[in-house]
Each structure stands twice: as C-alpha cells, then as structure tokens.
C-alpha cells in the first residue's frame, strides 16, 4: 500500500473535519488589512505548501475517541496546531536558508528573509488566537509552553552544530523541543476538548510524546538511508550542515570518532567529497540500526498506551498512524 493510501485510511474517520481545518487555514490568507500589499498571495503560497497534516489529524482523532462529533472548539484547536507547525517551518527554512521544501519554494527564497520572518510571526500570532478561542486556560498555557519549547529546540540545534561533545540525553531533549512538544500538544488538546478523563488525557499526551520522538528519530535516520528524490532534500544534508543526530552520536562512540572529527575539521569542499564515505562508515558501525531500535521502542510505547483507550475507528486510526510513522519512506 502506498504512503498516500495509508494516509487516506488513517484520516478516514476525520476526513470531513480535516477538510474544514484546511479550508479554515486557507481562508486565513484573506483576513488581512486591505492596505496590506500582496500579503494575501504570500500567505496563500505558504498555506498551500504540501504537507501530511499529521498534527491536526492527531487532535481530531484523539478528540473523537469518546464518540462525540468535532465541535467548533476542536476544529479551532486543530487549526491552531497546524498553523503553529506552518509558522515553525517558515522560520526554520529561513534560518536554514532553504530554497525549497518538498519541491515548494520557501518564503525566504521568494521574498527574502525579512519578509519570511514577519510572515512566520503573523502565523504564530494567528495560531495563538485560534487556541484562545477554545477558552481553555490549560490549553492556552500549554500552547505558550510549546512555542517556547519549539524555539529552544531550534536554538539548541543551531548552538550545537559542528560539536561532537553531545550525548543521547542531550539529543533527546533537543528533539523533544524541536518536534515532540507539538505532537504532545496536538494529542493533549484533542483529549481535553473531547472529554477524556485525567488519566486518559495523560495517556494521550504520552502517546503524542512517543509518536513525536519516533517521528523525529526516523526522520534523522532517513538522512542516512534515503536518496535525495524520496527525501526531498540531499541525503547527508544534516551532516553537511553540522547537525549531529543520533546515528552520528552512536557511531562516534562506536568506531567512527576519527572520521567524524576529520569531517568536522575539514573545509566545506572537502566535506562534500567525504560525505558519501562518512555515511557508509556510520552505517557499517550499526549505528543506524541501533537508532532504529530506539525509534521502534517509542512506537511500541504508543501501541501500549492505546490499549487503555476507548476502542473505535479513531483508535484504529491512531494505531495505523503509529505504524505509518515507523515505516514511512519519506
């Protein structure tokens, strides 16, 4: 079954609501002051970028575990989650000086970094307005924490580039802030607004945590295993940018220290010549397989958590989503 078919099956119980979320986001591009020259078209471009919509889907799926139809508040929470994700992508692409994302020209590439940063700021603020519409202080506070954690994750990644004095523990903190925090918020928001008990809300927050951690770890593995066409960016891109992810951390401790140190201390032109050999070396140490085992453990935890929750179509989709994250090809 193709990735697209799997996604369609996952989203089946929430298809109509997810379409409402996407429609609401697209409509946001029209809600700009009349004198704001060309901002509408810029927002339309950003909002139309291809994406899997996993985070708002988690909110909708978790909210529906107790059999209720999605309310306007739940739709608003899903919109807030996806807008926050889009805002972080705009800023990340600007920081990374990325020209494209999934074949879609980035805002910074089209209109420069200044405009891209301000567009991202506008989308951040808009996402906060949507979560405030829920009227739930617990969610509003959690949303603010998420924005802070996302920023810390990106700052940590920038400040730790080209440094090998890292550890699995520091890596885990970084990817929680960078990725898993928003997965936690997506599942927590759905559980709270859907009417889950305190225990169920905590369980679903943990589901989001483990799913988000696995998602980022598998994404980091792809940098060592996928080709440029399927990955949507050059393979080895993280290493060439000085980002030391889990496979390199494990390999550094298991026989690749000398080659990694040489790579980091070399000029960029030399690094580009070395990257293929370095990726092969890291794979030979078994680091990629060990990394996959860690990600697989997070997926196992999600499946364990789901056993304690109401069994319906939404739960089946959450199980399928866990499986999909563990097997996706890009």
Each domain of the chain, given as residue ranges in start order, spans 3-327
Task: Map residue 98 onto helix, strand or coil.
Answer: coil
Q: Mean pLDDT throughout 149-162?
A: 95
Q: Mean pLDDT throughout 168-193?
A: 97
Where does the chain have alpha helices with state H?
A: 3-11, 15-28, 39-47, 54-63, 72-96, 107-111, 113-132, 137-159, 168-175, 181-194, 198-225, 228-231, 237-240, 246-252, 257-265, 268-284, 287-306, 313-327
Give tens-digit pLDDT for 125-136: 999 999 999 999
- Judge whether residue 34 has pLDDT over 70: no
Q: Which pLDDT does position 218 carry in this prediction?
A: 96
What gap in Å lies between CA 256 and CA 250, rounded to an integer?
9
Is 43:118 a contact under the CB 8 Å cutoff? no
Q: Which pLDDT does position 37 carry in this prediction?
A: 66
User: Hey, how many other C-beta atoms are within 10 angstroms of the C-beta on 276?
Assistant: 11
Confidence of residue 101 (pLDDT cuts 50, 70, 90): confident
Give tens-digit pLDDT for 285-330: 999 999 999 999 999 999 999 999 999 999 999 999 999 998 865 5
**Architecture of the domain made up of 3-327:** Orthogonal Bundle (1.10)
Q: Mean pLDDT throughout 181-196?
A: 97
Task: Map residue 36 onto helix, strand or coil.
Answer: coil
Give tens-digit pLDDT for 229-278: 554 455 688 999 999 999 999 999 999 999 999 999 999 999 999 999 99
Q: Which pLDDT does position 103 carry in this prediction?
A: 75
The pLDDT mean for the chain works out to: 91
Give tens-digit pLDDT for 104-118: 888 888 889 999 999
């Amino acid at each position: 079954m193709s990735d697209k078919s799997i996604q369609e099956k996952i989203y089946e119980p929430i298809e109509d609501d997810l379409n409402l979320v996407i429609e609401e986001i697209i409509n946001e591009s029209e809600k700009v002051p009349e004198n704001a020259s060309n901002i509408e078209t810029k927002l339309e471009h950003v909002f139309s970028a291809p994406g899997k919509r996993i985070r708002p889907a988690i909110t909708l799926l978790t909210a529906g575990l107790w059999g209720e139809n999605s309310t306007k508040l739940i739709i608003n929470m899903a919109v807030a989650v996806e807008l926050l994700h889009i805002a972080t992508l705009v800023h990340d692409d600007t920081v990374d000086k990325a020209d494209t994302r999934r074949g879609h020209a980035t805002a910074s590439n089209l209109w420069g970094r200044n405009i891209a940063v301000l567009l991202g700021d506008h989308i951040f603020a808009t996402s906060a307005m949507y979560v405030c519409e829920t009227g739930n202080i617990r969610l509003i506070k959690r949303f603010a924490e998420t924005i802070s954690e996302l920023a810390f994750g990106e700052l940590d990644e920038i400040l730790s580039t080209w440094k090998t004095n890292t550890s699995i523990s520091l890596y885990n903190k970084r990817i929680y802030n960078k990725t898993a925090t928003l997965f936690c918020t997506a599942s927590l928001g759905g559980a709270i607004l859907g009417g889950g008990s305190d225990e169920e809300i905590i369980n679903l927050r943990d589901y989001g945590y483990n799913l988000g951690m696995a998602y980022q770890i598998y994404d980091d593995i792809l940098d060592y295993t996928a080709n440029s066409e399927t990955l949507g960016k050059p393979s080895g891109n993280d290493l060439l940018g000085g980002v030391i992810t889990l496979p390199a951390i494990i390999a550094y401790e298991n026989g690749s220290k000398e080659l990694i140190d040489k790579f980091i201390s070399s000029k960029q032109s030399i690094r580009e010549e070395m990257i293929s050999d370095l990726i092969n070396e890291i794979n030979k140490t078994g680091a990629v397989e060990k990394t996959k085992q860690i990600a697989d453990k997070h997926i196992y935890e999600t499946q364990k958590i789901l056993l304690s929750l109401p069994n319906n179509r939404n739960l089946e989709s959450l199980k399928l989503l866990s499986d999909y994250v563990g097997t996706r090809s890009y």
